[in-house]
Amino acid sequence: MKSALLKYVTSVARPTTIDISKVDCFVDYSKVDIGFTTENAVKAVKKNVSDKQLLDFRLSCRNFLKAVVAKLLNKTTVQYPLANNLAFLDPRLISDTDKNKTRLKFVLHLLVQCNRVAESDVDEILH
């Protein structure tokens, strides 16, 4: 990914807002970090391999990394509403009482649906 995009990643939830399907999110194929050993191997076989094959190799490396990032972002717990709303437990955000109360209500609603909390206890918990 381009370093300019990564500058704005200031929270855990922020990477999930980046649309990785856009081509302009990623660095040029020639700037993809393929690792020291692989870079040395590419230099060693450069005379025996065409430029098109090197281009295809670097593009496939970038596509692989793109697929891994997409899979990780899709599997992250921040994408799930329960995990996202559990942020009301974060001490750094405790001062925003209205937002925290809304998040707590959402979490309690989910817990009632899963039969983890009795519906009669919700009002007592909220007060």
| List of residues 6+ apart from 13 with CB closer than 8 A | 78, 84
User: Which among 41, 42, 104, 34 is positioned nearest to 63, based on CA atoms?
Assistant: 34
Angle at 88 between CA 6 and CA 121, to 5 degrees: 150
- In tens digits, the chain (127 residues) has pLDDT values of 666 665 665 555 555 556 666 666 677 778 888 889 988 998 898 888 898 998 899 889 888 888 887 787 777 665 577 777 888 888 887 787 888 888 889 889 888 888 888 999 988 888 8
Per the CB < 8 A criterion, the answer to whether 86 and 56 are in contact is: no
> What are the helix (H) ranges across 7-118?
36-45, 51-75, 81-85, 97-113
- Residues written for the chain: 127
CA separation, residue 56 to residues 37, 46, 50, 84 (Å): 18, 13, 10, 39
Q: Is the pTM of this model over 0.75?
A: no
